[in-house]
Amino acid sequence: MQAIFTFLGTGPSAGIPLIGCSCDVCRSSDPHNQRLRPAGVIHVGDKVLLIDIGPDFRQQALKFGLSHLDGVLITHAHFDHIAGIDELRALNFQQKKSFPCLMSKETLREIESRFPYLFQSNEEKKSKSAQLDCQALPKEAGETDFLGVKIRYMSYRQAGMKVTGYRIGNFAYVSDIREYDDSIFDELKGVKKLVLSALREEPSPVHFSLTEAVAFARKVGAEKTWLTHMSHSVEHNWACRHLPPDVQPGYDGLTIPFQMNPHA
């Protein structure tokens, strides 16, 4: 069975254009240089699964016509990946049920502490907010069933925070990675299409540089890797030329078809 991933955002935590910045990329009229906060959506069978729900979620849902979602996979609890979570209330009203979300136990604890009102019962709430149906991942790595879709997951860390990477079929989404255990390559073995975060050309303490991302992608052995979470120092056309053909910059709206068979 074929599935499709679509980038809803490929920008850094502050998005591009950056507020108040007049650099060439922030002023660029090329849509490839306009990057919303990092997120994506997967259409698999009759299911629509969001990956991350940052502060641009409302804009992304409107821009890409997301009128229905079945569930959300959350990578970690940094602002640029979860700040839009309360916007799920629009879909709660429409779909008349609490919203299935998949994440690590650590991410769930963070979301509970930052959005306690999302976890109150309807009677306790003074006003309408999203209602979540959270499924916490039991281990550091493994396989789980989420809404009937087989999902593999793996853990790594960014600035001390636990981050979850997701693999569906021969596709994987690995964002906000810096510190990882080599066992991650076992989890990613056989991945043909990889989404990987890389902030900029220069090294960063919490993100891969472009060079580090290329090395990681090569170690995974993916047929093709698309970069996300790129800062305004990465001009799209420059990056297309500068990077090797098998590791290219993603852009908002880019679609990646993949196979549900992990060995396809």
Q: Applying CB under 5 A, which residues contact Zn ion?
A: 18, 21, 23, 26, 80, 176, 232
Q: How far apart are CA 249 and CA 262, in angstroms?
A: 24
Closer to Zn ion by CB, 192 or 208: give it.
208
- The answer to whether residues 31 and 251 touch, using CB atoms and an 8 Å cutoff, is yes
The sign of the CA dihedral 104, 171, 91, 17 is positive
Hey, what's the torsion of the CAs at 24, 25, 31, 32, to 10 degrees? Answer: 130
Question: CB 238 → Zn ion: shortest distance, Å?
Answer: 14
Closer to Zn ion by CB, 43 or 178: give it.
178
3-class SS at 27? coil
Closer to Zn ion by CB, 156 or 170: give it.
156
Question: CB 223 → Zn ion: shortest distance, Å?
Answer: 25
Token pair for 180: 């990882």
DSSP state of 16: B
Question: CB 128 → Zn ion: shortest distance, Å?
Answer: 28
- The answer to whether residues 215 and 203 touch, using CB atoms and an 8 Å cutoff, is no
Give the contacts of 229 (CB within 8 A, at least 6 positions apart).
10, 11, 12, 13, 38, 175, 176, 197, 198, 199, 207
Question: CB 207 → Zn ion: shortest distance, Å?
Answer: 8
Closer to Zn ion by CB, 150 or 157: give it.
157
Question: CB 1 → Zn ion: shortest distance, Å?
Answer: 30
Closer to Zn ion by CB, 26 or 254: give it.
26
Question: CB 35 → Zn ion: shortest distance, Å?
Answer: 11
Closer to Zn ion by CB, 23 or 240: give it.
23
- The answer to whether residues 173 and 40 touch, using CB atoms and an 8 Å cutoff, is yes
- How many helices (H) and strands (E) the chain has is answered by 7, 14
Q: How far apart are CA 124 and CA 117, in angstroms?
A: 9
Question: CB 24 → Zn ion: shortest distance, Å?
Answer: 8
Total Cβ atoms within 10 A of residue 243:
20
Closer to Zn ion by CB, 149 or 177: give it.
177
